[in-house]
Amino acid sequence: MTSKYRVILGTWVLALAATIATQSAYTNELLFVSTGAATRAPVGWVEFCAERPIECKATTSAPRDVVLTNKSWADLVRINAWVNENVKPMTDMDHWGVVEKWSYPDDGYGDCEDYALLKRRMLVEAGWPREALLMTVVRERNGNGHAVLTVKTDKGEFVLDNQEERILLWSETSYRFVKRQSQTDPNRWVSLGDPRPTISTASSR
């Protein structure tokens, strides 16, 4: 374990303790995103599954939230930090010659959804339930689309993001949450409700 990682882990364990200690200050709406009707899956996910049907084959299952402990938080911090440090950012156009392509960054390069896919895979391999690890589409302040991994826990929904070292509650980010995978079926996507005040953004295409 590197000294940098020890510092990050120690800081984030304290952050987790603070989050749990002050949880009563949050409403359930701010701890958990409200989900809405079924919506269309991103094209990138559909094409990803067409290329890897075995990985996307899933039966309907019951929603599962992770019980967040110091150990599970440490696992989350470790995997999030490793992926962010070891994958270099590269657009799909530069990488693949196409506007949008979801793929594992096994060659060491990728964009936002590729970081999220790898974190999801590594957490599943570490024993985390797939039902708690949800690919999520958000909008940045400027209206650009972005992808993150949402981790559903009993203490709230946390976001793993390649643009942010810290692991934050969804409501602590500046993103507008659009849609994500359903907990019961990874190939079913649901729209998301965001009770926070509207942030002025550029018009989406």
Top-confidence residue, 29 or 101 = 101
What domains, with CATH codes, occur in the chain?
3-193 (3.10.620)
Which range is least confidently modeled, 59-73, 82-96, 99-113, 130-144?
59-73
What was the pLDDT predicted at 138?
97
Beta bridge partners of 34: 193
User: From CA 83, how far away is CA 167, in angstroms rounded?
Assistant: 13
Query: At residue 116, does pLDDT exceed 50?
Result: yes
Region of poorest pLDDT, from 33-37, 43-47, 123-127, 201-205: 201-205
**Confidence band (pLDDT; 50, 70, 90) for 25?**
very low
In three-state secondary structure terms, 150 is: strand
The confidence band for 2, taking pLDDT boundaries of 50, 70 and 90, is low
* pLDDT at site 30: 87
pLDDT, residue 203, reads: 31
Q: What average pLDDT does range 167-194 have in this prediction? A: 95
Please state, as a whole number, how many other Cβ atoms lie within 10 Å of the Cβ of residue 54. 6
> Is residue 171 a contact partner of residue 196, using CB atoms and an 8 Å limit?
yes
pLDDT top residue among 43 and 193: 43
Query: Global pTM?
Result: 0.84
3-state secondary structure of 94: helix
> Which has the higher per-residue pLDDT, 38 or 8?
38
- CB distance 122 to 72 below 8 Å: no
Strand partners, 138: 146, 177
pLDDT in tens, 125-161: 999 999 999 999 999 999 999 999 999 999 999 999 9
Q: What is the pLDDT of residue 205?
A: 29
